[in-house]
Structure 1
Amino acid sequence: MDKTDKIIVGISIGDLNGIGVEVILKTFEDKRMLDFCTPVLFGATKPISYHKKALNLETPVHGIASIAQVNHNKINVLTVWKEEVKIALGTATKEVGNFAFKSLEAAVQHLKENKIDVLVTSPINKENIQSEAFKAPGHTEYLEEKLAGKSLMILMTNELKIGLITGHIPIAKVSETLTPELIKSKVETMHSSLQQDFGIYKPKIAVLSLNPHCGDNGIIGDEDDLVLKPTLKEIADSGKLVFGPYAADGFFGSENYKNFDGVLATYHDQGLAPFKALSFGKGVNFTAGLSQIRTSPDHGTGYDIAGKNKANPSSFKEALFTAIQVYKSRKEYKELTENPLKLK
């Protein structure tokens, strides 16, 4: 392996019938991207070539058989399989789901072994990737199983970071899942991430209410009064700058979110709906709280535009830059906290 201090970015290839390969190729059309990192795609060169031909893209790639063969001046494709893949752009098939998992599994293993520095995951289809080896609702839960730590899904831009207290669960189960222990755990993960991953020394965190109008004093539900308010008070009394609960509609409508470093939503769409309305195509999905760094673009497989050369690579590019920045921030934070200045 060439001597270099460039960050090695592992990239799982995602659903080959979607737009994942397209946004990867478009991201690295600009050769200057290789000044920031060394990309390693986990998959095979033939599917990449198929997409290049279908999209009339000329981004060059370099096939390697092992991570030891990485070329830091090229876009590396590490061979994970040698079988032929039947690609049907715009269609969900079990076959490409199996290959999406093979790519993810290999990438995560290399991440665990520190053979790559960070991981950027391309979009998967959460249904066709299911198997005996992958039974998770999504990337976040799978990564929590494989890596150390407690995960927190954060959708983010430079101006807005929204984490989810409950993630990929049915809405009917949110209330019973929203316990004081879970709230404390997610606040702690968000607080730690804002410090070590984004360099915010004393982060301000807002928490959204579960019920409309924070329950209106129990008229529209009592979870906010009985669970959220006392738990947040306990956390605030411990010294953290945690505020809420806030009714989500007014919180975003008044742009109050701009006054906080991080926001925690009580359930999936409460956080993602306003985030995507404000930032779709520019956002990044970051898995906080784990021992290793993973990001992804804020969009899905994009079957409806697959193979049409219409996919915008902006979100994937932001995911790449975010992974690199978080890696640098964690390294700096570790150095600062391992060697603190001694007060006399």
Structure 2
Amino acid sequence: METKTKIKIGISLGDFNGIGPEVILKTLADNRILNFCNPIIYGSGQIVNKMRKSLALENFSFQQYKTAEAVENKRVNVVNCWDEDYELTLGKPTPESGRAALRSLQAACQDLKSGLIDGLVTAPIDKDNIQADEFKFPGHTEYLTSYFDSPESLMFLVSEKLRVATVTGHLPIKDVPQKLTQELLIVKLSLLLNSLQKDFGILKPRIAVLGLNPHAGEKGLLGREEEEIIIPAINQLKNKGHLVFGPFPADGFFGMANYHQVDAVLAMYHDQGLIPFKTLAFETGVNFTAGLPIVRTSPDHGTAYDIAGKNQARETSFREALFLACDIIRKRRMVPVSPI
């Protein structure tokens, strides 16, 4: 691939007192990454250098810039988003690390919207510590959906073993039944079908839909959501020729490993999908936000303050997130797909 066409991947630093900087540097310390993309860390050269010394990555080098417009090929690049010399207090979130996480994310999103970078990989934030006037969201997914003016998006967890999306995201469990509607379910299924085609190259995707209630409602005995919301939505898409099946009782579906028979699973709420996903693919899973006009991925873990600064964090999930972002960008460039 010619260097002038190499994909530029922006990387937001996340909360620098968590494991974000550690997994970023451990990933980018492998120079072979530079054959796939031009990585651009949005944060601070001072923080990156302190982390480099902490991890004893003596051969790790990077180039610093004020803007992404001048970044070099074949180098790890850092765009400085603040001038302050913040102290690392690894394992302990601080007001400074929360502000820095937001400034990093804002700068990366601005460059992504303007076309200076091709995709974004976000390191973990502390969802409480990052809260500010400009960030009143429960997480990255909701912030990015708003920033890029998307009516809806889809939390989509991806690994070689399993793909799981969720109808509802960061929502209290007591609010899930009220949020769940036939219209929302059709929107989320349509986003999932479109993403499987456009982002993963699956021309005729097969999707399993989970029930909300135990035993998928037992024909209304244990809840009416399956009969009144989920089954009618599935039938609408079936009538259009899509391979959508269910609703399946979640416990039996995963217990029998039936996910091997489909291309993706749609769960009704966060933990219903993420517990089995992280059980099966915690080290290599990737969180992808489908339905946006841009490509954003992240590792499927959090800040992990308990191991920050101990050189124990494994970079496998972050590396997979970087590779998946590159793969999806390439597929979107090659295969335009009409909306479902």
Question: Is the TM value for this pair above 0.5?
Answer: yes
Q: Which residue matches 2:176?
A: 174
Kindly indicate whether residue 134 of structure 2 is the aligned counterpart of residue 133 of structure 1: yes
Q: Report how far residue 159 of structure 1 moved.
A: 2.8
Q: Which residue matches 1:223?
A: 225
**Could you tell me which amino acid in structure 2 is paired with residue 197 of structure 1?**
D
| Partner SS for 2:50 | helix
Q: Distance in 2 between matches of 1:224 and 1:33?
A: 46
Q: Distance in 2 between matches of 1:68 and 1:189?
A: 32
* Equivalent residues in 2 for 1:121-270, closer than 5 Å: 121-149=122-150, 150-270=152-272
Q: Which residue matches 2:92?
A: 91
Q: Which residue matches 2:292?
A: 290
| Partner SS for 2:335 | helix
Contact kept in structure 1, 2:161 and 2:281, CA below 8 Å? no
Q: Which residue matches 1:43?
A: 43
Structure 2, unaligned stretches of length 5 or more? none
| Partner SS for 1:290 | coil
Deviations 1:51-78 (A, max 9, x none): 1122222321111121122011110000
**Could you tell me which amino acid in structure 2 is paired with residue 222 of structure 1?**
R
TM-score, normalised on structure 2? 0.96
**Could you tell me which amino acid in structure 1 is paired with residue 89 of structure 2?**
A
* Equivalent residues in 2 for 1:3-14, closer than 5 Å: 4-14=4-14
* Equivalent residues in 2 for 1:62-73, closer than 5 Å: 62-73=63-74
Following superposition, which runs of at least 4 residues in structure 1 exceed 4 angstroms of deviation? none
Q: Distance in 2 between matches of 1:221 and 1:194?
A: 30
Q: Which residue matches 2:116?
A: 115
Q: Distance in 2 between matches of 1:38 and 1:86?
A: 28
Q: Distance in 2 between matches of 1:32 and 1:168?
A: 36
| Partner SS for 2:238 | helix
Tell me how many residue pairs correspond in the alignment. 335
Q: Distance in 2 between matches of 1:158 and 1:197?
A: 14
Contact kept in structure 2, 1:148 and 1:291, CA below 8 Å? no
Q: Distance in 2 between matches of 1:207 and 1:290?
A: 22
Deviations 1:262-321 (A, max 9, x none): 110000000000000000011000000000000000111011111111110100000000
Contact kept in structure 1, 2:40 and 2:76, CA below 8 Å? yes
Q: Report how far residue 3 of structure 1 moved.
A: 5.7
Q: Distance in 2 between matches of 1:32 and 1:84?
A: 31
| Structure-2 change in CA distance of 1:13 and 1:230 (3 Å) | same
Q: Which residue matches 2:104?
A: 103
| Partner SS for 1:158 | coil
Q: Which residue matches 1:340?
A: none
Q: Which residue matches 1:321?
A: 323
- Stretch deviating more after TM superposition (278-287 or 148-157): 148-157
**Could you tell me which amino acid in structure 2 is paired with residue 42 of structure 1?**
Y
Structure 1, unaligned stretches of length 5 or more? 338-344
Contact kept in structure 2, 1:45 and 1:63, CA below 8 Å? yes
Q: Distance in 1 between matches of 2:252 and 2:189?
A: 21
Kindly indicate whether residue 32 of structure 2 is the aligned counterpart of residue 32 of structure 1: yes
Q: Report how far residue 148 of structure 1 moved.
A: 4.0
Q: Which residue matches 1:81?
A: 82
Contact kept in structure 2, 1:196 and 1:329, CA below 8 Å? yes
Q: Percent identity, aligned pairs only?
A: 49
Provide the aligned C-alpha RMSD in A. Answer: 1.2
TM-score, normalised on structure 1? 0.95
